[in-house]
Amino acid sequence: MELLIESSRTADASGALLLFVGEGGVLSAGARAAETASGGQLGRAMKAANFTGKKGKIVELLAPAGMGASRLLLAGIGDPAKADARTFEDLGGEAVARIQTSEAALAADFTDLADLAVGRDVAAAHFAHGMELRGYRHDRYRTRLKDEQKAKLGSITLIGVPDSTAALAGRLQKVADGVAFAKELITEPGNIIYPESFVARVQERVAGLGITVTVLDEKQLAALGAGSMLGVGQGSARPPRLLAMEWNGTGNPDATPLALIGKGVTFDSGGISLKPGPGMEDMKWDMGGAGAVAGIMVALAGRKAKARVIGVCGLVENMPDGNAQRPGDIVTSMSGQTVEVLNTDAEGRLVLNDCMTWTQRTYKPKVMLDFATLTGAIIVSLAHQYAGVFSNADSLWEKLDAAGKAVNDLVWRQPLSEPGGHYDQMIDSTIADMKNIGPREAGSITAAQFLQRYVEEGVEWAHIDIAGAVWRPKAGPLHDKGATGFGVRLIDRLVAEHFEG
């Protein structure tokens, strides 16, 4: 959406107009002016709707008297002293959800809003950010939409805001671009996004952003000994790919990078350990970790983050075939460790481990994070509200937790044994170095224990299981039903606070 900034709004301006109301029905300056122009229509509407300015509540007035606006939205901010960036983001998202198919433009009047928990520039920029995030739609394949079902909203105007608003809003726009790209990749079906086309889509999107792209094909992976990752993809007609993206905004080619690894199983049938048919269509988003990593890289490069960040995506399709990996097979990973594959549907960890080894050997990071829709067990534990985090470093966990709370990409720490500890022993194999599943219990934990065996000494690491957070069955304040873009804003915040010089 186009973002405009104006000092004031004329009474005869068309489109939707959003005005703010504090707890107890206290009208903002813009709302007071509209109350006068409409002959008291706002007050009557608020009384009829029992609207008192409670945080997050919105009341609509259609064709208000004495004004050119086609509709008014009265948005409650609650106690102004508690109205923070999140308050305004959520209001922006709610506004879009209400008018996206009915209005071409919306103006939000911040004139003389005072005593907020944040400055007016922050409030206004995050309001626009919320609109951008919630406004994403994937209508590419919806060819029979009626006019009244199509998205019309094309511009956001912020009224009465400081000059500093534009720069902050522009930065957040780049983050929203990354979230949108992640949602796009995750929403696309498996016949459109597969390893080769994922690479092509990313190459097209990052062109001109200053990101260096490296692609390894199946022959190169075989030469590197990536038997674990290649074993997952051997039953598919779509060959695997390892995609690496590098952004360096430090000016120092030798700066120590932050490494991000994404599971990119572009469709997961379960392989020979075939999944049940009902719901299998959802497995198009089993590449949600790779989608998040690609979105993060777009966001960081777009806003020119002063950090060096490596994003690596392990891209495979897991299919049953005469050549598919069998339960009981043993594969040798790039690290030289051997894995007994007891269940071919526990494939994400087999992809990630080779990507982790390659990334550590190639870039020598001191901090490494992986994102993966790894286990259904994490959904049982946390539903769709949190991503589970497993980490070998308390300080890294604390940074992730704080970043998640700041942007509402919420994470919750899960237990992890030291090497050789109780949970770690649960994946010991009698015939190989390890097996790719443990017993029925502690499924998310044993998956993390598997990955921890590939973390090299001295590397701070966190595994982020986003199986419940990447795709949600209900709409939220900043996303529609479906892909959420989880992880992009989380890592953008982490990088801004801890990895930028």
pLDDT tens-digit readout, 328-370: 999 999 999 999 999 999 999 999 999 999 999 999 999 999 9
Q: Find the mean pLDDT for residues 111-120.
A: 95
Q: Is the pLDDT of residue 452 over 80?
A: yes
Domain of 212 in residue numbering reads as 174-498
H runs (alpha helix) in 255-319 = 288-302
Same domain flag for 8 and 91: yes
Is residue 356 included in any domain, yes or no?
yes
Q: Is the pLDDT of residue 11 over 70?
A: no
Is residue 231 included in any domain, yes or no?
yes
Does the active-site annotation cover 349? Answer: yes
Return d(Cα 100, Cα 154) in angstroms, integer.
Answer: 9
Q: Which residue has the tokens 């796009």?
A: 184
Same domain flag for 193 and 262: yes
Same domain flag for 159 and 234: no
Q: Find the mean pLDDT for residues 11-36.
A: 92
- Phi–psi pair at 346, nearest 5 degrees: -100, 60
Please pick, among 32, 54, 98, 275, the residue that the annotation labels catalytic: 275
Same domain flag for 134 and 228: no
Same domain flag for 144 and 216: no
Same domain flag for 378 and 336: yes
Return d(Cα 236, Cα 218) in angstroms, integer.
Answer: 12
Does the active-site annotation cover 140? Answer: no
Same domain flag for 153 and 249: no
* Residue where a domain stops, chosen among 143, 163, 183: 163
Same domain flag for 212 and 105: no
Is residue 304 included in any domain, yes or no?
yes
Same domain flag for 193 and 104: no
Is residue 483 included in any domain, yes or no?
yes
Model pLDDT, residue 501: 77
* Count of domains forming the chain: 2
Assign residue 418 the CATH number of its domain: 3.40.630.10
Please pick, among 57, 120, 284, 349, the residue that the annotation labels catalytic: 349
Is residue 168 included in any domain, yes or no?
no
Q: Is residue 381 within a helix (H) or strand (E), and if so which, with residue range? A: helix 377-382
Q: Is the pTM above the cut of 0.85? A: yes
pLDDT band at 257 (very low <50, low <70, confident <90, very high): very high
Q: What is the mean pLDDT of the chain?
A: 96
* Residue where a domain stops, chosen among 141, 163, 185: 163
Angle between helices 288-302 and 488-498 (to 10 degrees): 50
Model pLDDT, residue 52: 96
Assign residue 50 the CATH number of its domain: 3.40.220.10
